[in-house]
Amino acid sequence: MAGKKELDALVAAAKKARANAYSPYSKVKIGAAVLTSSGEIYTGANIENASYGLSCCAERTAIFKAVSEGARKIVAIAVVGKSEDFTKPCGACRQVMVEFNPKMKVLRRGVDGFSEDGTAGSLLPEHFKPDELARG
């Protein structure tokens, strides 16, 4: 599991990624960073679109970047927003998180000082599981 130094670096990367958010409609800026089992960090920011359904959350942006580069095991994710309310991953992000590791550590941080840690599985306890879907 990742140590304090790695997790601190992960939070710092998510804070930095938040500056790249494209949110002209909501004005909400979210940054995320994922730590893979190989020690790599991938970042993402929320990206909005005038057709709201085409927007993508910071969490999924970071995870998809990692996966598109070959990562399959994500050990931790940091999500940074303004406050507690803006660090809660949506349902779609929670399902994507558990797909790659239900035990993934989730570090939620608000620039207002909010701080909470948990796991992807605790955020979405009754998630779709790949092995269940394969049984049809």
Residues labelled catalytic: 59
Measured between alpha carbons, how far is 106 from 136 in angstroms, rounded to an integer? 30
Q: Is 82 exposed, middle or buried (0-12, 13-18, 19+ CB in 10 A)?
A: middle
**What's the count of helices (H) and strands (E) in the chain, helices before strands?**
5, 5
Closest by CA to 78, choosing from 48, 49, 105, is 105
